Amino acid sequence: HQTNISKDEL
Amino acid sequence: MNIFRLLGDLSHLLAIIILLVKIWKTRSCAGISGKSQILFAVVYTSRYLDLINAFISPYNTIMKIVFLAASYGTIYLMYMKFKATYDVNHDTFRIEFLIAPAAVLALIVNHAFEPLEILWTFSIYLESVAILPQLFLVSKTGEAESITSHYLFMLGSYRALYIFNWIYRYYAENHYDLIAIVAGIVQTVLYCDFFYLYITKVLKGKKLQLPA
């Protein structure tokens, strides 16, 4: 699911 | 993690350090927009609330704490310790005209209508325009100290490098986040005029003078 990717970014 | 994002984070960290060093060494925050620093503190606070409930990596946690501490520390230096040197007459951008639209847009365009997701989306939208008061201040004063322009170059480069990170992640991990990408492109585009001046002037040892 695409949203979890940017949650590991600052 | 990939090289683009690592370089981007380091560029971001360097920008924040340059700013703190500039204010601390010159004991002055002349030419720096306090409004932009307030917006950055709001961005980090609304984005890094997941420090409480989500652990991603030591690097991620440490960097979030550093960014939060540095942004509040800068506000303390600007509005308290070196308040006398704060350029209140030129730092007049109405930040409510940035915060309100970012908040409204975050309620409309988001990945999920949940508190942490809305706050994250708000922080992404707000960050894309958070530098406007600073660029507005530089255009009003017509110039910037060279250390301030180095700060701005590093800060602008961080999100430009993140764009390469998103391209890499699209091809390498088949993942992407349109909200972050669109806002990141807007944020980087806002620096283009400054990047041009920085590369054509500051790197040649001239002062950053905006055409009046």
Q: At what angle do helices B115-129 and B34-47 cross, to 10 degrees?
A: 150
What is the pLDDT averaged over residues B63-79?
98
Domain ranges of chain B: 3-86+93-203
Q: What is the largest CA-CA distance in chain A?
A: 19
- Mean pLDDT, rounded, of chain B: 96
What's residue B140's pLDDT?
93
CB contact under 8 A, A2 and B175: yes
Does pLDDT of B18 surpass 70? Answer: yes
The interface predicted TM-score of the complex, written ipTM, equals: 0.89
Structure tokens, B105? 């847009």
Q: Which residues of B46-59 are buried (b: 16+ CB within 10 A; e: fewer)?
A: bbbbeeeeeeeeee
Q: Which residues on chain A place their C-beta less than 8 Å from a C-beta of chain B?
A: 2-3, 5-10
Give how far B59 is from chain A: nearest CA, Å.
10
Question: What are the tens digits of pLDDT across the range B23-59?
Answer: 999 999 999 999 999 999 999 999 999 999 999 999 9
What's residue B208's pLDDT?
87
What's residue A5's pLDDT?
62
What's residue B155's pLDDT?
98
CB contact under 8 A, B175 and A9: no
Residues of B in contact with A9 (CB under 8 A): 5, 162, 165, 180
Contacts of B15 (CB under 8 A, 6+ apart): B151, B152, B154, B155, B158
Cα–Cα distance for residue pair B154/A7, rounded to 1 Å: 23
CB contact under 8 A, A10 and B63: yes
What is the pLDDT averaged over residues B151-169?
98
What's residue A2's pLDDT?
45
Q: Which residues of B137-151 are buried (b: 16+ CB within 10 A; e: fewer)?
A: bbbeeeebbebbbbb
CB contact under 8 A, B177 and A10: no
